[in-house]
Amino acid sequence: MSGPHPTRLEDFDLYALGALDADERVLIEAHVPSCPDCAQKLAEAQGRMAILAFAAPRVEPSPGVKERLMRQLHATAEGSGASAVPRVIPESAAGILGRWWTVLVPVASALALATILLWLHNVQLERQLADSRETLRHQQAQLDEARHMAALLAMRDTIVVQLWEQKTPNTVGARVVYNAREGMMVCDGMLPPAPADKSYQLWLVPMNGAPISAGVFNPKSGQMSHMMMKVPAGLTAKEFAVSLEPAGGMPQPTGPMVLVGPIS
């Protein structure tokens, strides 16, 4: 692929408007032919600019243009034998309208440019508003989870179970906060990233029956993993475990147990 992707979406609109610097235009022109996604964005921007061009006020042609056109029509009509009466516009009127023409053209161009720039500004504001809404949604989700965690810890029948690493005994790798009555559990831990084709999977091991999957996670390097999940209410657990499974998880544990936490 030739050239990097444009870093700003508005560059496509500015290119279609002819307002980009020469260096930036060269970068886009070198990149777009080999990038279908950017070619589509540029085509959409050019379409928007074409539509906005019609927003400019209509400007009547000068009387001189009209006069020349009428003369050509009359000459054609006389050449074909038809009679016609030429329309003559007084020179004084033509001069006045000509001066108006020199005023209207720059004004119309300025209005069209102002319309396009205002539209680009609105697009930028809409993007900023969308980013703010996404940030607010993320913060609200974090607040809701913190409230759920506080409520879970406040319940008298909630238990906290430490999960121990199997490769390095006596090392705590994670903890599980579990309330069987509510079927709610939270797991916090620090694990190295899983291999590319693997995922970590958390298991609730009941007193009777097979382990129950409580979620799949793929921690990032150096970051604490945090999961809140629902399991069937009323399950009495005898231990929790984390295994390394094929990416996406398995119905039952197949890989090695990385963490194990028995309930005493």
Give the pLDDT confidence of 36-88 residue by residue, as tens digits. 888 888 888 777 766 665 555 555 555 665 566 566 666 665 665 544 444 54
**pLDDT per position as a tens digit, 151-173:** 877 889 999 999 999 887 777 78
Domain total in the chain = 3
Does residue 179 belong to any structural domain of this protein?
yes
pLDDT top residue among 259 and 111: 259
Does residue 140 belong to any structural domain of this protein?
no
Based on the fold, state whether residues 165 and 199 are members of the same structural domain. yes
**pLDDT per position as a tens digit, 103-142:** 455 556 666 666 777 777 777 777 878 888 888 887 887 7
Beta-bridged to residue 164, according to DSSP, are 172, 260
Based on the fold, state whether residues 106 and 180 are members of the same structural domain. no
Does residue 149 belong to any structural domain of this protein?
no
Distance (Å, whole) CA 228 – CA 90: 86
Does residue 219 belong to any structural domain of this protein?
yes
CATH at 214: 2.60.40
User: 203 pLDDT exceeds 90?
Assistant: yes
Q: What pLDDT was estimated at residue 202? A: 94
pLDDT top residue among 250 and 125: 250
Based on the fold, state whether residues 213 and 163 are members of the same structural domain. yes
Q: What is the mean pLDDT of residues 208-225?
A: 86
Distance (Å, whole) CA 102 – CA 3: 43
Does residue 242 belong to any structural domain of this protein?
yes
Does residue 123 belong to any structural domain of this protein?
yes
User: 15 pLDDT exceeds 90?
Assistant: no
Q: How far is CA 169 from CA 82, 223, 225, in A?
A: 110, 22, 21
**Residues of the domain holding 23:** 10-53
Based on the fold, state whether residues 220 and 238 are members of the same structural domain. yes
Q: What pLDDT was estimated at residue 103? A: 47
Based on the fold, state whether residues 109 and 193 are members of the same structural domain. no
Reported pTM = 0.49
When the pLDDT of each residue in the chain is averaged and rounded to a whole number, the result is: 77
**pLDDT per position as a tens digit, 133-145:** 888 887 887 777 7
Q: What pLDDT was estimated at residue 59? A: 54
Q: Are the beta carbons of 199 and 217 closer than 8 angstroms?
A: yes
Based on the fold, state whether residues 111 and 204 are members of the same structural domain. no
Q: Which residues contact 179 (CB under 8 A, 6 or more apart)?
A: 152, 155, 157, 158, 159, 185
